[in-house]
């Protein structure tokens, strides 16, 4: 089994037992971390010189609709209704299996490029098993670690049809996936269910979907984006908690409009809550939920959501989540008439915790990834500390959370395999050139089919 020794300039582990170090080492054997810290001596088949780099756990993107990669920035000035009108009611209906494959492949490569080693792919334009299979093929071809959250489409309801809000998750499709390529959870891409939940479907559908997820041993995840008046089943999450159907195996996304009396039981039941702060600041009047989850004793998690509206870069999402939480805490303190705070209410380390351990927990992989801990999978990122936006490094944690961006990512290792090195992705250039051209052709066809014309900014 191959042994790789990484000579670190700075090491940020997110493991309290190991800590952070200047001039340390990480030893990888096969696809797992064997040792990390100072004083490590070992023979190795390969030595990676990261002596002028910050070595950190790979970032985890806990929520991304990767199939939308080819639609980047077309909705930068949209409001919420524009997104659903243009995407779900129009463009999504023209996507075929190969369109999903291309979006997922190029999107996953972009995530790797930006220091993300794992993504929860919330794939919610699926209308066939082939759609799902090709979406997974795209993720696997990239080399990223992923949780493929199988979702369903939200097309307009035609006369005589049952609206999607009343349609349970397709048992035949999810069972076919679970019994074939996803029969084992010991693989780089694993399976989850992206369900409607009570904001987007009836209570009966939510109950049926959650029971199915548990029957198949799958994480479930749902969108909670609507104000009470617009929810299909208001108060549905509280009812589901009371019925014992929600626990650590459920991930709720957004939650801006969920009131405390519903959010608190969710957190206490062990459900994870993922904020997508950039998107939520873009289009919602209610605050991202990070501080409330934190106040109820939960560990927040964060993700990107929709690249048609915001950047897919997790460093920017992490920084936005941190700055929003600080601003909200300062605002609330002032509004309560209390004296000015004497220490920063949200520390920078928390933001990296959300983007690593918090996200690993949210997607059901905390025992495998999220920190540089012996026994965990070797998912590592190395940032060039000599880049002028980072140099000089005084505290590597602060450099990561408050200064770094995707352009600083030099090397990415996923499952012990180097996927980017020397600032260049380890993926055939000729293949990527073809896939990029095919993606452009794909989205141009989709836009023509939908009669979509981008208005100039």
> Which parts of the chain sit beneath pLDDT 70?
none
Cβ-based neighbours of 382, under 8 Å, separated by 6 or more: 6, 48, 50, 53, 54, 55, 56, 409, 410, 411, 412
pLDDT at site 5:
98
Per-residue pLDDT tens over the stretch 67-82: 999 999 999 999 888 9
Question: Are 50 and 67 part of one and the same domain?
Answer: no
Residue 410 lies in a domain: yes
Q: What is the DSSP string of 389-448?
A: TTPSPS-HHHHHHHT--GGGEEEEEETTEEEEETTEESS-HHHHHHHHHHHHHHHHHHHH
Quick check: helix, strand or coil at residue 177?
helix
Question: Are 107 and 48 part of one and the same domain?
Answer: no
Distances (CA, A) of 447 to 118, 155, 210, 450, 451: 30, 16, 35, 5, 6
Of 362, 396, 415, the domain-final residue: 362
Contact 268, 246 (CB under 8 A): no
pLDDT at site 378:
98
Distances (CA, A) of 88 to 20, 94, 109, 202: 45, 10, 24, 19
Question: Are 46 and 74 part of one and the same domain?
Answer: no
Residue 314 lies in a domain: yes
| Tokens found for residue 12 | 């940020």
Residue 457 lies in a domain: no
Question: Are 64 and 195 part of one and the same domain?
Answer: yes
Cβ-based neighbours of 292, under 8 Å, separated by 6 or more: 260, 263
Question: Are 52 and 68 part of one and the same domain?
Answer: no
- For the whole model, what pTM was predicted? 0.98
Question: Are 189 and 322 part of one and the same domain?
Answer: yes
Question: Are 266 and 135 part of one and the same domain?
Answer: yes
pLDDT at site 255:
97
Residue 430 lies in a domain: no
Per-residue pLDDT tens over the stretch 157-171: 989 899 999 999 999
Question: Are 119 and 153 part of one and the same domain?
Answer: yes
The Cα 402–Cα 384 span in angstroms is: 15
Q: At 17, which CATH number?
A: 2.30.40.10
Question: Are 8 and 139 part of one and the same domain?
Answer: no
pLDDT at site 390:
98
| Tokens found for residue 93 | 């209906």
Of 309, 328, 362, the domain-final residue: 362
The Cα 121–Cα 163 span in angstroms is: 24
Cβ-based neighbours of 328, under 8 Å, separated by 6 or more: 287, 291
What domain range is 113 assigned to? 59-362
Tell me the Cα Rg of the chain.
22
Question: How many domains does the chain divide into?
Answer: 2
The Cα 352–Cα 56 span in angstroms is: 10
| Tokens found for residue 305 | 């959501």
| Tokens found for residue 29 | 């054997």
Residue 225 lies in a domain: yes
Of 341, 362, 383, the domain-final residue: 362
Question: Are 68 and 48 part of one and the same domain?
Answer: no
pLDDT at site 35:
98
pLDDT at site 456:
77
pLDDT at site 80:
81
Residue 438 lies in a domain: no
Residue 442 lies in a domain: no
Question: Are 246 and 106 part of one and the same domain?
Answer: yes
Which helix (H) or strand (E) covers residue 351, if one does?
helix 348-353
Question: Are 323 and 402 part of one and the same domain?
Answer: no
Angle (CA) 174-223-182 rounded to 5° is 25
Q: At 262, which CATH number?
A: 3.20.20.140
Residue 280 lies in a domain: yes
pLDDT at site 455:
84
């Amino acid at each position: 089994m191959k042994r790789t020794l990484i000579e670190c300039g700075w090491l940020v582990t997110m493991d309290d037992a190991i800590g952070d170090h200047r001039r340390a080492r990480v030893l990888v054997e096969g696809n797992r971390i064997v040792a990390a810290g100072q004083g490590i001596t070992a023979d190795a088949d390969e030595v990676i010189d990261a002596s002028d780099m910050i070595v950190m756990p790979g970032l985890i993107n806990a929520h991304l609709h990767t199939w939308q990669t080819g639609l980047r920035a077309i909705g930068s000035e949209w409001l919420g209704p524009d997104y659903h009108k243009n995407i779900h009611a129009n463009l999504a209906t023209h996507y075929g299996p190969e369109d999903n494959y291309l979006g997922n492949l190029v999107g996953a490569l972009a995530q790797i490029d930006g220091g993300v080693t794992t993504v929860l792919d919330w794939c919610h334009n699926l209308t066939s098993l082939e759609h799902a299979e090709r979406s997974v093929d795209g993720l696997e071809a990239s080399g990223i670690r992923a949780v493929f959250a199988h979702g369903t489409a939200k097309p307009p309801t035609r006369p005589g049809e049952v609206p999607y809000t009343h349609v349970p998750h397709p048992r035949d499709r999810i069972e076919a996936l679970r019994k074939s390529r996803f029969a084992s959870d010991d693989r780089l891409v694993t399976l989850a269910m992206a369900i409607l939940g009570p904001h987007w479907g009836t209570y009966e559908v939510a109950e049926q979907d959650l029971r199915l997820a548990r029957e198949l041993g799958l994480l479930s995840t749902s969108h909670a984006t609507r104000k009470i008046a617009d929810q299909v089943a208001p108060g549905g999450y509280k009812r589901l908690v009371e019925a014992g159907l929600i626990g650590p195996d459920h991930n709720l996304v957004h939650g801006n409009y969920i009131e405390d009396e519903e959010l608190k039981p969710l957190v206490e039941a062990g459900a994870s809550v993922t904020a997508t702060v950039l998107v939520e600041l873009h289009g919602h009047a209610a605050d991202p939920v990070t501080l409330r989850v934190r106040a109820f004793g939960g560990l927040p998690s964060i993700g990107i959501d929709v690249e048609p509206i915001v950047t897919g870069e997790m460093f920017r999402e992490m920084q936005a989540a941190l700055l929003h939480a600080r601003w909200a805490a300062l605002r609330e303190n002032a509004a309560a008439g209390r004296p000015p705070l004497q220490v920063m209410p949200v520390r920078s380390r928390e933001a990296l915790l959300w983007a690593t351990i918090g996200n690993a927990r949210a997607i059901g992989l905390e025992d495998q990834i999220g920190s540089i801990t012996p026994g965990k999978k070797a998912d590592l990122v190395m940032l060039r500390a000599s880049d002028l936006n980072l140099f000089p490094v005084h505290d590597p944690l602060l450099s990561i959370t408050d200064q770094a961006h995707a352009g600083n990512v030099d090397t990415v290792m996923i499952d012990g395999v180097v996927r980017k090195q020397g600032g260049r992705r380890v993926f055939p250039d000729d293949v990527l050139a073809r896939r990029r051209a095919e993606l452009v052709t794909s989205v141009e066809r989709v836009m023509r089919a939908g009669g979509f014309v981008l208005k100039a900014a």
